[in-house]
Amino acid sequence: MLVAILAHFALAAVLPLVARRYGRAAFVVGALAPAATLVYALARGGEAVSGAPPLETLAWAPVIGLEFTARFDELALLLILLVSGIGAVVLCYYSRYAKPDDHRTAARDSALLVTFAGAMLGLVLADDVISLYLFWELTTVCSFLLVGGDGVAKRLRTSATQALLVTTLGGLAMLLGLILLGTAAGTMRISEILADPPSGGIVTAALLLVLLGALTKSAQVPFHPWLPSAMVAPTPVSAYLHAAAMVKAGVYLVARFSPAFADHPAWWIPIVVCGLWTMLLGGFRALRQYDLKTLLAYGTISQLGFLMVMLGAGTWMSALAAGTLILAHGLFKSALFLTVGIIDKRAGTRDIRELSGLGRQWRGLTTLATFALMSMAGLPPLLGFIGKEVALEALFEGGTVDRLIGVGVAVGSVLTVVYSLRFLRGAFGTKPDMAPSAPVPCGRVMTGMVAVPSLAGLVLALAPSVIEPVETGYADRYGKDPGYHLALWHGITPALMISVGIIAAGVAVHRYAGVQRLGGYVPGPLRAQSWYGRSVEGLESLARGVTGRLQVGSLPVYLGVILTTLVVVPGAGLFSGDIDFGELRLFDNWLQVPLALLVLVAAATSLLARRRLTAVLLAGVVGYGIGAWFVVDGGADLALAQFLVETLTLVVFVFVIRRFPPRFIENKAYVGGRWVKAVIAGVAGTFVAVLAVLYSGYRGGIPEASRQYIERAEDETGATNVVNAIIVDFRAFDTIGEITVLAVAATGVASLILARSRRRNGTVGRPEPTEQDATDDTGTTETPEVRS
Partner 1 sequence: MTDRPDDPRESVPWTEWDTPRERWLMTEQDAYSWPRSLLLEVIARVLFPTVLVFSVYLLLAGHNNAGGGFSGGLVAALAFVLRYVAGGSAELAMMVRVRPPVVIGSGLAIAVLTALAPVVFGDPVLASGIWKLQLPVLGELKITSNLLLDLGVYLLIIGVVVDLLRTIGAGTEVGGPGVDDEQLEEERG
Q: Which residues bind partner 1 (CB under 8 A)?
A: 636-637, 640-641, 644-645, 647-648, 651-652, 655-656, 658-662, 716-721, 723-724, 727-729, 732-733, 735-736, 739-740, 742-743, 746-747, 749-750, 753-754, 756-761, 774-775, 777-779, 781-785, 787
Cβ distance to partner 1 smaller for residue 694 or 755:
755
* Smallest separation (angstroms) from partner 1 to the CB of 610: 13
Cβ distance to partner 1 smaller for residue 590 or 655:
655
* Smallest separation (angstroms) from partner 1 to the CB of 54: 34
* Smallest separation (angstroms) from partner 1 to the CB of 637: 5
Other beta carbons less than 10 A from residue 105's beta carbon: 17
Q: Would you say how long the chain is, in residues?
A: 788
Cβ distance to partner 1 smaller for residue 400 or 778:
778
Residue 226, classified by CB atoms within 10 Å of its CB into exposed (0-12), middle (13-18) or buried (19+), is: buried
Query: Which of 569, 574, 559 is closest to 676 using CA atoms?
Result: 559
* Smallest separation (angstroms) from partner 1 to the CB of 717: 6
* Smallest separation (angstroms) from partner 1 to the CB of 767: 15
Cβ distance to partner 1 smaller for residue 222 or 769:
769
> 209 CB contacts (<8 Å, ≥6 apart)?
173, 174, 176, 177, 180
- Say if CB 379 and CB 503 are below 8 A apart: yes
* Smallest separation (angstroms) from partner 1 to the CB of 53: 37
Cβ distance to partner 1 smaller for residue 562 or 753:
753
* Smallest separation (angstroms) from partner 1 to the CB of 644: 4
Cβ distance to partner 1 smaller for residue 105 or 649:
649
Cβ distance to partner 1 smaller for residue 152 or 764:
764
Cβ distance to partner 1 smaller for residue 574 or 636:
636
- Say if CB 498 and CB 390 are below 8 A apart: no
- Say if CB 245 and CB 120 are below 8 A apart: yes
Cα 204 from Cα 215, distance rounded (Å): 16
- Helix (H) / strand (E) containing 56: strand 55-61
- Dihedral sign, Cα of residue 329, residue 330, residue 333, residue 335: negative
* Smallest separation (angstroms) from partner 1 to the CB of 760: 4
- Say if CB 117 and CB 82 are below 8 A apart: no
Phi and psi torsions of 374, nearest 5°: -65, -40
* Smallest separation (angstroms) from partner 1 to the CB of 764: 12
C-alpha dist (Å) from residue 474 to 48, 77, 315, 734, 751: 11, 10, 11, 52, 59
> 608 CB contacts (<8 Å, ≥6 apart)?
none
What DSSP line would sit under 750-766, residue for residue?
Answer: HHHHHHHHHHHHT-TTP
| Largest separation between any pair of C-alpha atoms in the chain | 111
Phi and psi torsions of 438, nearest 5°: -60, 140
Cβ distance to partner 1 smaller for residue 211 or 722:
722
